[in-house]
Structure 1
Amino acid sequence: MRTMSWGTTVFVGALGVTLLTLTSAALAEPVTLTLGSWRTEDLAVWQDKVLPAFEAAHPDINVEFAPINTNEYNAAIQSQIEGGAGPDLITCRPFDVNNEWIGRGYFIKLDGLAGLENFTDTAKAAWSTGGATYCVPVAAVLAGFYYNIDIFNELGLKVPTTAAEFISTLQAIKDNGKYTPLAEGSAESWQLAYNGLYSIGPAYWKGEEGRLGLIDGTKKLTDPDFVSAISAFQAWKPFLPAGQESLSYSDMTQLFTLGKAAILPDGSWNINQVTATGLNVGVFGPPAIEAGGQRYLQEMPDMAIGINASSKNQDAAKTFLTWVSGPEFQQIYVNTAPGFFAMSNQPVKYENALAQAFADLKTGALLTPRLALDRLSAGTPPLDDEIWRLLQVMMTSDTTPEQVAEELQTGLSSWYSPQMPQ
C-alpha cells in the first residue's frame, strides 16, 4: 500500500478543516433583528420596500418589522423591556417619553456610530440627553394648510401670506356661502394644538425663542406673545363648520376631500388621505404676522430608532442603524411614506409633488418643534395635555384666551421648577 507523506497528511487535514469551516459558514443562520414600532400603517413600507433593500446589501442580517397599535405601544414596550425582553430595535418617541426611557436604561449610547455625523445637533435633540445620543433620527413631519385649488380659483382667492390676509380669505369664503372656510373640529383636542395653535403660534412667540424661554423660565404663558397666539387661534372660530364641537379628525379630512371645505389645517402625515379622492390640492404654510415678516414652520421630530440595551445582537443592530443613517434608506422611506421628511443633511428627492411642496415651505422659514413636548410635559399636569384640553374648552365655550393662558401657567408653575415663583 502506498504510504501518505507527512506533508500530504497536513495538506489533506488543512483542506478538511477549510471545508468544514466553509460548510459551517454556509449553514450558519443569519442574525435576525426585531424592530418595534407604533406605525402599524407602515407595515407594507418596511416589509415590501425598506427591509428588502437592507437585506439585499446585508444578507447575513434579517430584520422583522413588529408594529404595535399606537395607543398601546408605550406601555407594551415598557412591559417587555422591564421583563428583560423587547425588540432589538426600538422606534423612539421624541423628547419627554424618550428621555424617560433613556433614564430607565432602555437604550445604548450611539455616540461614535458611523452615519450619526449626517445629523445636526438640532436634528438629534429630541433623542439626546446629557450630551449623548440614543436614537438615530428617521423622519420629521410638518404642519400647514391644505387648500382646494379649484375653490380658490373659483372664488378668485390668493394664498394668504399674512395673518390679516388669512382671516380675510376665510371671511371671503364664508361670505360666498358655498363652502365651509375651515375643515376644523373640536372633538379631538390633540389636533387643535398640533394643527392649530402649534402651527400659527410660533409667529407670535418667535419659535425657538418662546419655546426655549418657557423651558428656562424666562418666558411665561401669560406673556403677551403667547396670549396673542391663543387669540389668533380663537379667531378661527367663526369659520368652523356647523356642529364643529362633534367633528372628529377623520370627519375634517372627509369634509375637505369631498370638496365641501376650502382649507384643511393639517399635517404632512395626512398627504395620502387628503389626496385620495383626486382633489386638486395645494399647501401653504402658516402666515407671517405682517408683510415681509419672518415665517415659522412647525417641524416635529416624529420618530427615531434606538438599540435595546438588552439585545444580544447589538453589533448587527448598529450595522442596521448605520444604513438607516444613510441616503439609501432616507430616499426609500420618505417616498414610500410621503409626508415624512428626512432629517439628515444628505440630499433627498421627493417624488410626491405635494410632499415636495411641503418640503419647499421650509425655505426661508425658521423651524421649530411642537411647543410643549420637551420637558414641559414631564410632570403633572403635562402642559401638552393641558393645552389640548383648554383649547377644546375655548373653542366650545366663552372662555377667553387670557383665561386659557392663566390656567396653563398656573398648571405649569405648580410642578416645573424654572416656572415656579422665585
Structure 2
Amino acid sequence: MPKLLRCLLPILALGAASAAHSGTLVIESWRVDDKALWEKVLIPAFERNHPGIEVRFAPTEPTSYDASLAARLAAGNAGDLIACRPFDASLSLYRKGYLDKLNGKAGMQNFAPSALLAWQTDDGKETFCMPVASVIHGFLYNKKIFKKLDLQPPRTVEDFFSVLEVLKKSGITPLALGTAELWEASQIVYTNIGPNFWRGEEGRQALIAGKAKLTDAPFVEALQFESRMGGYLGKGAATQSYADSRAQFAAGRAAIYPAGSWDVAYFSQAAGLELGAFAPPVRKHGDACFISDHMDLGIGVSRKSKNKEDAYKFLAWVGSQEFADIYTDRLTGFFTLSNHLIAVRDPVAKQMAEWRNSCASTIRLSAQVLDRGQPSMESELWNINAQVLNGSLAPNEAAARLQNGFAKWYKPQQK
C-alpha cells in the first residue's frame, strides 16, 4: 500500500465517523418547565457514559408546540427526538410519516403492553414513541385547615360535599379553582371525578363502541357533581387563572385544590403549607374506585433525523433504570411507565402513586378516538365544563350538547 494512502486511512476513517454522527442531537418538547432538569441533570447523566454525543433540549411553549412541531416535521428541520403527546396527537404524526416505528428497538422491552397503549396504532401492532411518564389526578388539601376544623379527607360524594359545606360556613374558601383558562374544568375536574361515575375504562370503551351515550346517567351524574362543586368556588372564579388558583392554595386562602400530580412539586415549595392528598370520591361507601392515571409523555425519533444512530442510543437510555430513577425522583408527580422498581420519595406523590394499588386506572375521556372529528370533543369539554362550574349551563343541557356534537361525526353514535 502506498505510504500516502496509509497515512490518509485514519483521516478517512475519522471523516466517516463524523458523517455517522452528524451534529448535536436535538430534543423537541412542550415541557418548558423541565428545561433545567434536562440541561443540568438528565443530559449530563447521558453524556457521561456516551462521550462524543452532544444533546440539546429545545422546548416550545405548550400552546404552540403541536402546530410548530408539525410545521418543522413537514419541512424536514425538526429535532432528532420528539416529545410525544399521548394517543391521537402523536398517532397523527406517525400516520403522516414523521416518526419512526420503534418495535423491537433497545429499551422498549422495559415497558408492559399496557404502557405502550398511548403510542400505538389502533390495532396495537406498531409502536412509534417510547413511554416516559404518566400523571395522576386527585385532590390536594391543607392539613392545617382540616385539623383546625376536625375534618377528615372525604371518601364518598356526600362526604366530599359535607366537608365543603363545613369549610364554607367557617368562612374559608373551600376550593382553589378558577375557570378562566377552561382546560382546568375539563382535565382537572371532569376527567378527575368522572371515572368513578362511568367506571373508568368501562364507560370510555362503551362510548367508543357506541353502547353508551354522553346523555346516559353516569355521564350526567358527573356533570351534576361538577355543578354542585361550582357553589364552593371563591369569588371571581370565572376570571381566576390557573396561576391564581395555585397562589390561592399555596397561601392558605383555600382548603382544597383539584390537582394533577405535577402540582405536588410546586406546592412542596410553599412555606408553611402542610400538604395532603385524597383520591376522587366514590359515589358511596363500598364502591370500586377509579383514577385518571393519564399517560402524559413519550419520546419518538424523527424519521428525517440525520443522526439516527445516536438518537437510538439516547432512546435506549430513556428506557433504562438510570433514566427512570432520575426522572421520577427529580420531576415530582410524573411517574415512570417502565417496569423498573422506582422509589417515589416525595410523600404526597408517593401517596398518589399508591392509589394505583387500590383503584383501577383510566385515561382522560377524549384522549383516544373520541376527539377525531368536528366539533372537537376536547374543545367542547373545555367550554361546557367551565360553564357548568360557573352555573351558566345545566348538567342535562351540557350532556345533550356534548352528545349532539359527538353524534354529528362518530358513526357508532348514530345508531
Q: Aligning the two structures, in what range does the TM-score lie when normalised by the shorter sequence?
A: over 0.9
* Letter of the structure 1 residue corresponding to residue 403 of structure 2: Q
CA distance in 2: counterparts of 1:40 and 1:244, whole angstroms: 27
Is the Cα–Cα contact under 8 Å of residues 333 and 349 in structure 2 kept in the other structure? yes
- 2:406 pairs, out of 386, 405, 412, with 412
Q: Which SS does the other structure have where 1:146 is aligned?
A: strand
Q: Which SS does the other structure have where 2:140 is aligned?
A: strand
Give runs of aligned pairs for residues 81-96 of structure 1, distance below 5 A.
81-96=73-88
Q: Are residue 127 (structure 1) and residue 84 (structure 2) matched? A: no
Residue 397 of structure 1, CA deviation: 3.5
| Over 3 Å off, 4+ runs | 12-31
- 1:66 pairs, out of 39, 55, 58, with 58
Unaligned runs of 5+ in 2: none
CA distance in 1: counterparts of 2:196 and 2:257, whole angstroms: 19
Match of 2:139 in 1: 145
Q: Are residue 276 (structure 1) and residue 269 (structure 2) matched? A: yes
Q: Which SS does the other structure have where 1:147 is aligned?
A: strand
Is the Cα–Cα contact under 8 Å of residues 256 and 263 in structure 1 kept in the other structure? yes
CA radius of gyration, larger in: 1
Match of 1:3 in 2: none
CA distance in 2: counterparts of 1:405 and 1:216, whole angstroms: 18
Q: Which SS does the other structure have where 2:118 is aligned?
A: helix
Give runs of aligned pairs for residues 213-362 of structure 1, distance below 5 A.
213-278=206-271, 279-362=273-356
* Letter of the structure 2 residue corresponding to residue 269 of structure 1: W
CA distance in 1: counterparts of 2:88 and 2:21, whole angstroms: 36
Match of 2:95 in 1: 103
Residue 17 of structure 1, CA deviation: 7.8
Match of 1:5 in 2: none
Residue 346 of structure 1, CA deviation: 1.0
Residue 122 of structure 1, CA deviation: 2.0
Unaligned runs of 5+ in 1: 1-8
Tell me which moved more, 354-363 or 191-200. Answer: 354-363
TM-score with structure 1 setting the length: 0.92
Distance 1:29 1:375, change over 3 A: closer
Match of 2:108 in 1: 116
Residue 221 of structure 1, CA deviation: 0.3
Q: Which SS does the other structure have where 1:145 is aligned?
A: strand
Distance 1:21 1:369, change over 3 A: same
TM-score with structure 2 setting the length: 0.94
* Letter of the structure 2 residue corresponding to residue 355 of structure 1: A
CA distance in 1: counterparts of 2:11 and 2:366, whole angstroms: 60
CA distance in 2: counterparts of 1:341 and 1:116, whole angstroms: 17
Residue 114 of structure 1, CA deviation: 1.9
Distance 1:219 1:55, change over 3 A: same
* Letter of the structure 1 residue corresponding to residue 237 of structure 2: Q
Q: Which SS does the other structure have where 1:47 is aligned?
A: helix
* Letter of the structure 2 residue corresponding to residue 232 of structure 1: F
Distance 1:309 1:18, change over 3 A: closer
Is the Cα–Cα contact under 8 Å of residues 284 and 361 in structure 1 kept in the other structure? no
Is the Cα–Cα contact under 8 Å of residues 20 and 309 in structure 2 kept in the other structure? no
- 1:402 pairs, out of 383, 396, 403, with 396
Is the Cα–Cα contact under 8 Å of residues 143 and 276 in structure 2 kept in the other structure? yes
CA distance in 2: counterparts of 1:39 and 1:20, whole angstroms: 41
CA distance in 2: counterparts of 1:172 and 1:117, whole angstroms: 51
* Letter of the structure 2 residue corresponding to residue 280 of structure 1: E
- 1:187 pairs, out of 180, 199, 202, with 180
Match of 1:166 in 2: 160
* Letter of the structure 2 residue corresponding to residue 115 of structure 1: G
CA distance in 1: counterparts of 2:77 and 2:11, whole angstroms: 35
Residue 25 of structure 1, CA deviation: 9.0
Q: Which SS does the other structure have where 1:132 is aligned?
A: coil
* Letter of the structure 1 residue corresponding to residue 87 of structure 2: F
Residue 388 of structure 1, CA deviation: 1.1
